A and B are shown apart, each in its own frame.
Chain A
Amino acid sequence: MTIRQRRRFRRRPFRTALILLAVAGVALAAPLAATAADTYVPISGAGSTWAFNAVDAWRVDVGQYGMRINYAGTGSSDGRRQFLNGTTDFAVSDIPFQFNPEDGSPPENPASGSYAYMPIVAGGTVFMYNLSINGQRVTNLRMSGANIAKVFTGALTSWDDPVLAADNPGLTLPKQKIVPVVRSDGSGSTAQFSLWLIAQQGQLWRDYCGRVGRAGACGETSYYPTLPGMIAKFGDLGVAGYVSQSYAEGSIGYVNYSYALNAGFPVVKMLNAAGYYTEPTPDNVAVSLVKAVINKDPKPELYLTQDLRGVYSDTDPRVYPLSSYSYFILPTKVQGQFSEDKGKTLGAFSYYFMCQGQQEAPSLGYSPLPVNLVKAGLEQVAKVPGVNKQSISVAGCNNPTFSPDGHNSLVDRAPFPQDCDKQGAVQCGTGSGGAKQTTPTKAPVAPTAAAPQQTQPQHTRPAGGQQTTQAGQGPTTQRQPNAGGNPTTSSPAAGVGTTARTVVRTTPAGQHPSGPTRTTARGAKPNVKITARSAPAVAATSAAPSCDADTGVCSGAAGAQTTDAGTGSGGDSGGVTVLAQSVPLAGTTGWGPTQTLMVVAGLCALLLILLPPIVARQLNRKRTSP
């Protein structure tokens, strides 16, 4: 046997294996490579101003991926109308199509099978107000649902009304006319607000309906009926623009939270069913929407639509009652000016904002979508003709609410309200919305030590969570301090930061029997994570419950590792499918198909580099040794 023969003999199995591996690798890597070369055609949409600040940001964001998206914030009603006229590829609406409008506007009749809903972002509809006491802007106003309803139905006309004083024991509200500001155009915010009014303040709403001449058409409406003395403006920008003026002192209008932040104005802390006054921080909205019932009826006119009645009455202390989702209305057939090529763009754009784009939602004033809605939403996107279904898989989705154990990480770490935000004789002075400055309050006042905590919530994470989270994958971990970092950003586990964390309980314990009991030091407990609704339950059953004063997260004795949010909690029942509950996300921890694919792709890359020299060597050898 010659040397050459021996070599060939020795090498053949190896080379065969290499070739096989290469072929398999190329076949597997093909779908991955395909995404690199994607080109997209421009698409256009119109609709919600409530969601505009998010959609507009995403629209700009995807420019670097070669997508050109147009979006006009002309109001939800207009967006739906344009979608029906085929003059826009997608619509953004805060409410579904109005097949049987209850306010006298013409019915909308999309053909069955021509559209699908996809929730795109969560947020709060807030009551931005302009009010001063002795020339000092009020930033900490609190209102009960009933009082909000009274204001917007003309039943409450002066800020010094005693019922408002009951909400605001720390303030001496001025004798000033209340000027409600509503939307003049067809608006999803108006529709959401009216739904809440119907569900929670039905009598006030029905009375009002009669007074404004809409008796018999008192259902959900996109067009707010007005009384003399009310102001109506076009779009969120119009309402926020009006309320922010100096002459608009005494006014109060409903807008998306982001507009109040942009305008630098405070928002009403609204009383929730737990007896706490809250604002729709990204955390609070996430907690609130745990109780949103997402319709699973496969009929397209119902599927994924939201029933928020559970949110209105949720007893988690962090809930903001007027939290809701905004929706994309997706075309599910080629229609109007929509084509399959556009479907591909729409799919890629959707994938972007359902995953990566949700990371900037909190910066903009919104709340990221939870895992289950992202999954359900992307399944809706798959119905769009022309969508590249492989590229909209939830694997690799950089949504910030995704956590290794499948919980909505926002819900997990959402801080509980301060004690002074509880209904009672005490009122926080801390600001709200876009006006964070403190308002002086009458005694008894909560200690100001609590104030900085409000703006710098501590993010507790489950034990081990930091190890298994994708490193550096976004805001949740960006904010994780280095070991030994400064106290304001260190986690409770570090055992520092116990200074100035004492919460003095100034209210009699009997006033909030259902609320979690607080301890005074936040460093006193180990890493604990408890879901929204299980927290009070644990607190109630534990003999010596320990709660974090900052996050409000309570634990049972010895810090039970209650990491299985909701699923193990006995209180989580009621017969409804709570789809907004966070669900485990397969494949994000441990070894999964993604990881296998990655390794295969890596091997392929290795082969790509190794094969040419090997082949060249072989050829060379042939030539040199004839």
Chain B
Amino acid sequence: MTGHLRSASPAGPRRPKVGRGRPVRILATLGAAALVMITGATGAGATLVEAAGINENLVNAAGDDTALPDTDSAVTVHGTGEFKKMAFTVNQTSNLVNQAISVSWTGGEPTDNVTGIANNYVEIMQCWGDPVTAADGSKGPPPENCEFGAQSLKYVSGTPGVRVASQVREYQDRDRGDATVDVPFHAVDGKSIPLMTDNSYNLTLPVRPWWLNPYFDYFSTNEIPYAPTYLDGRGSQLFTTDTGLEAPGLGCAQATQVQANLPPKIPKCWLVIVPRSNNSQEHGGQPPFDLDSGVQGAPFQPRVWAHRVAVPLEFKPLATPCLLGADERRIVGSELLAPAMSNWTPTLCASAHNSPFNYAPLSDNRARAQLTGASVGGAGMSVVSRPLDPKSIPAGATVSYAPLALTSMVVGFNIERALVDPASAPGGQVPAAEVQLAAKRLQHINLTPRLVAKLLTASYQQSFVAVPEGANYDWARKNPPNVAFDPEFVKHNPEFQLLTGGVGQGQSGLVVELSSSDATYGLWQWIKSDPEATAWLAGKPDPDGMKVNPFYSTSPKVNPSKQGIGLPMDNFPKNDPYSFKQADAPSSFPSLGMVDLLPYQNSFRAAALATRIADLGDRTVYSPENSGGPVGYTPNGPQIQGSRFVLSVTDAASAARYGLQTASLRNAAGKFVAPTTAAVEAGLRAMTPSAVPGVLLSNPETTSPDAYPLTNLVYAAAVPTQLDVRSRKDYASFLRFAAGSGQTPGVSFGRLLPGYEPLPIELRRQALAASAVIDAGGSVGPTSTKPPTTGPTSTPVSTPPTTRSSAAPAFPIPSQLPAPTNPATVSHSTSAADPPPADPPTTAQGDPPVVTRSAPGAGGPKTIKGPAKATSSSPSPKKASATVTAGNTSSSSGAPAPVALRTPRDPVTPPILPIVLGVGLLAAILAPFISRKRIRH
């Protein structure tokens, strides 16, 4: 699911309220009639041109369109009554899986207080059920059927979450004497969950009302209880559509048996958007209960619910999951492949010949060591970006490499516009059009290697709680407070003349992981290759006088340790020994340092999630009543909505998963390049050969102007001679899948997720060649055409892929599996339910990108395309339709997904079952012939 947008803390300045005394009139036509299909692009940032001024060219320079692009099934619905000016656009409403969709709107009253709980905002939720006609005549799912109210149960530092007034399922009904109405949750299976009180399982827990809901909790809910409308009347949110797997209470895409005597049924599902206005209107013109708390009560109160916008959602049928209990085939390695693998594995296991696969993300170093180390419990296949050192490979062993996935490392960000004081703006004025954009997310930023170096070296003043006294920290006193104030950053991101950063570590550093990786090594290579960055790290101030934190300097003369840091590194050290302690903290409390101010994350994925929810995980506040224990600090919690500022180092797929924007990085040609398809493909073309033939190395130093410098290609590596036959078959089959249909972009299981680019044909052929080598146990069979260098002592896949026009069919293909490039074998897949490998595209490198971007070069969130479109535009339309349409895209025909064809396997079965099945099949085929003959006689 997308990161949970926690409610912002109520703290923060409140703008004076503007009287909006329009009487509430409940208009009543919603539902299907109100749905307007649109095909054109909507939600693109309309330029607000006002009186020309000195700063007009800066307005929205960084863009504000953070929505996903519209698909064929995009829908725009207008509000009713007091919200009739509002138009809500949902970018995709059919062929849905568990994915992110965009909900954008225009024409709203601006939220009174973006940073806190206020008036005029939007609540978004997913519901199930046949449409019912409300008292006012409007249609849609009943309010009880909506997944909402769990965010308010967020557990914060030892106490249950604050129950924010409008994020709950109860309300006080003004029309019925202020009676409190609890709205239970009606689950799709017929059960109803009331607000309950239960402490019987914990004798120390005081009796208090809890809404303990088995269907969803604050971890799993996809509700958005508070989405602001900005001053320009627009708003935009990413919403995660949940299937029955994620939200069993809704059961979308999942057949659920409601009554014992009825057949299971797939429920109708809805996206429900509830605009909230100011509280006096919501309370029928009466004053609210608490003037300071803004909108109150559940969105389910009739007066509010009447204005809901209900959009039907059509899901793809759920794929049958893998059968639990089968022995898994293990692969370990790069985090860069982890998102792809988690989307591939549910399809991979559908093959009757495969074991299910298991992927454990490890640092590339550990993955390399496990391949040759013969360590206990090692996996037979490792995934790495850089090849193994040939010297580390035992004599006689040969490592086969197969390209698996093309992706990139990114600086993901979540930055919202905080305006400068007009006095600080050029010309002493912030243009009105810019004011209209306040608190909106930035679409793109540009970063130079030196800026990234600054962010990784704790060199901004606000890397510290306060710059320490003393000469040792004199270097910091003239440095900018944070990156938003850095003239270099402003130069490359001119809108920041009008924007400011707040206070905190988010603006002063990058959220990073503790582990090492080859991708991180590439990041430092990129920094090292930049003369500006190198000089600055060595101690030379930048043109504006900013200096490196000496603890990170590459110069032994500057670095207090008398030893410069060596570049490139494969991790992110936090070298400054700074420590502080809050004055009021007890003596038993530990002092805090850099790892507390901007803590490490466990993985790229965790870093992306932290960026999405704008929660750095820092715990620096001493709070005696709330501390977790005798020496606990309380978590600082997420940043306040409206002025979030978080940057992280993560992988493109994780950034896409969590809807992060991605920075454009300046390459060695001096161009700022976003990780678009074209730029990543150019990055691939710029890669250089490694010491191991057939394995390419990332080239962050490339001077190709189009290349994204942090392009990464990950390889599967295996030593065929160390593997038994079964594992060789499994790994070979995996590689065929990965080089085949696994390269088709999409969000459905088995597809290549956004954040990855399909491998070009040469690399896919190379992977197929490697799969044949692994399949054959280290060398290909005698009847096949061998790659020239194949042999026990050389790297088998060293053949330059371009030398062969059709390498794959030449290799022995296991009898059970369709040949990767032979269309005639496709029909076999129906019996075996193997994921049919999509044919490699017939054109070479540079195929039209299948994943379109909202704005090329914008670094916006990766497009999550409608699966139907993904098929039609897949690399080889004709053949793809023969293989892919058979099952994967079956929304119109209703045919089962390919995994549904899977033959359930007994997890412990030795070959008995297949043999018996084979005999049976033979008998079944022969039986009619025999019988006919006999009858004829």
Contacts and interface: CB of A to CB of B under 8 A. Distances in A.
A241 B321 CA distance: 38
A261 B366 CA distance: 8
B201 A114 contact: yes
B397 interface: yes
B841 to A, nearest CB: 27
Contact of A222 (B153, B376, B629, B722): B629
A609 B920 contact: yes
Given A44-B220, A82-B155, A226-B590, A68 B201 contact: no
B330 interface: yes
A368 B376 CA distance: 11
A40 B320 CA distance: 12
Interface in B327-363: 327-328, 330, 332, 338, 342, 345-346, 348-349, 356, 358-363
Contact of B370 (A222, A223, A363, A477): A363
B917 A601 contact: no
B906 A111 contact: no
Interface in A45-100: 52-53, 56-57, 60-68, 70, 72-73, 75, 77-78, 81-82, 84-88
Contact of B324 (A65, A455, A489): A65
B45 to A, nearest CB: 35
Given A281-B376, A472-B724, A85 B927 contact: no
A42 interface: yes
B630 A105 contact: yes
B379 A363 contact: yes
Interface in A567-626: 594, 598-599, 601-603, 605-610, 612-614, 616-617, 620-621, 624-625
B571 interface: yes
A400 B596 CA distance: 38
Given A41-B215, A356-B327, A620-B935, A237 B923 contact: no
Among A226, A230, A338, A478: residue with most chain B CB under 10 A: A478
Interface of B: 153, 155, 158, 160, 198, 200-205, 210, 212-220, 244-248, 254, 320-325, 327-328, 330, 332, 338, 342, 345-346, 348-349, 356, 358-363, 365-366, 369-370, 373-380, 394-397, 514-516, 551, 561, 563, 565, 571, 573-577, 587-588, 590-591, 593-596, 599-602, 619, 628-633, 721-727, 777, 904, 906-910, 912-913, 915-917, 919-921, 923-924, 927-928, 931, 935
A477 B380 CA distance: 11
Which 6 A-B pairs give the minimum distances between C-beta atoms?
Answer: A362-B377, A66-B321, A247-B577, A339-B214, A232-B590, A335-B201
Contact of B574 (A213, A245, A457, A481): A245
A335 B397 CA distance: 56
Among B216, B245, B247, B590: residue with most chain A CB under 10 A: B590
B325 A87 contact: no
24 contacts: A32-B904, A39-B254, A42-B246, A64-B322, A82-B155, A84-B201, A86-B198, A88-B217, A111-B202, A114-B202, A212-B588, A224-B631, A228-B587, A234-B633, A262-B363, A335-B200, A472-B727, A474-B330, A478-B727, A598-B908, A598-B912, A602-B913, A606-B923, A610-B924
Given A244-B514, A480-B724, A605-B916, A234 B155 contact: no
Nearest to B155: A87
Interface in A216-230: 222-226, 228, 230
Contacts of B198: 86, 335-336
Contacts of A87: 153, 155, 160, 212, 217-218
Nearest to A485: B721
Interface in A144-179: none
A77 B629 contact: yes
Contact of A247 (B248, B376, B551): B551
A542 interface: no
Contact of B360 (A231, A364, A479): A364
Contacts of A606: 916-917, 919-920, 923
A394 to B, nearest CB: 11
A65 B332 CA distance: 19
Contacts of B777: 482
Contacts of B217: 44, 87-88, 337
B365 A234 contact: no
Contact of A263 (B216, B320, B375, B514): B514
A202 interface: no
A238 interface: yes
A478 B920 CA distance: 32
Contacts of B910: 470, 598
A283 interface: yes
A61 B322 CA distance: 11
Given A110-B202, A237-B514, A609-B923, 4 more contacts: A44-B220, A472-B727, A489-B394, A606-B920
B919 to A, nearest CB: 7
Contacts of A57: 360-361
A201 interface: no
Contact of B212 (A39, A67, A337, A605): A337
A360 interface: yes
Given A75-B628, A245-B595, A605-B916, A594 B928 contact: no
Contacts of B328: 61, 356, 359, 398
A38 interface: yes
Contacts of B321: 38-39, 64-67
A107 B201 contact: no
A290 interface: no
A252 to B, nearest CB: 15
A85 B160 contact: yes
Contacts of A614: 927
B600 A237 contact: yes
A442 interface: no
Contacts of A234: 596, 599, 619, 633
Interface string A280-293: 01110000000000
Interface in A26-44: 32-33, 35-42, 44
A240 interface: yes
Contacts of A231: 590-591, 593
A104 interface: yes
B394 A486 contact: yes
A312 interface: no
A184 B916 contact: no
Contact of B245 (A39, A259, A333, A602): A39
A341 interface: yes
A485 B720 CA distance: 11
Given A87-B153, A262-B515, A65 B590 contact: no
A379 interface: no
Nearest to B560: A247
B631 A184 contact: yes
Contacts of B160: 85, 87
A56 B590 CA distance: 28
A135 interface: yes
A605 B214 contact: no
Interface string A228-268: 10111110011011101111100000000001011110000
B661 to A, nearest CB: 25
B60 to A, nearest CB: 37
Interface string A92-123: 00000000000111111111001000000000
Nearest to A368: B377
Among A57, A348, A605: residue with most chain B CB under 10 A: A605
B720 to A, nearest CB: 10
B210 A185 contact: no
Nearest to A230: B590
Among B201, B214, B593: residue with most chain A CB under 10 A: B201
B202 A86 contact: yes
A610 B321 CA distance: 28
Contacts of B912: 598-599, 602
A61 B563 CA distance: 43
Contacts of B594: 245
B561 A246 contact: yes
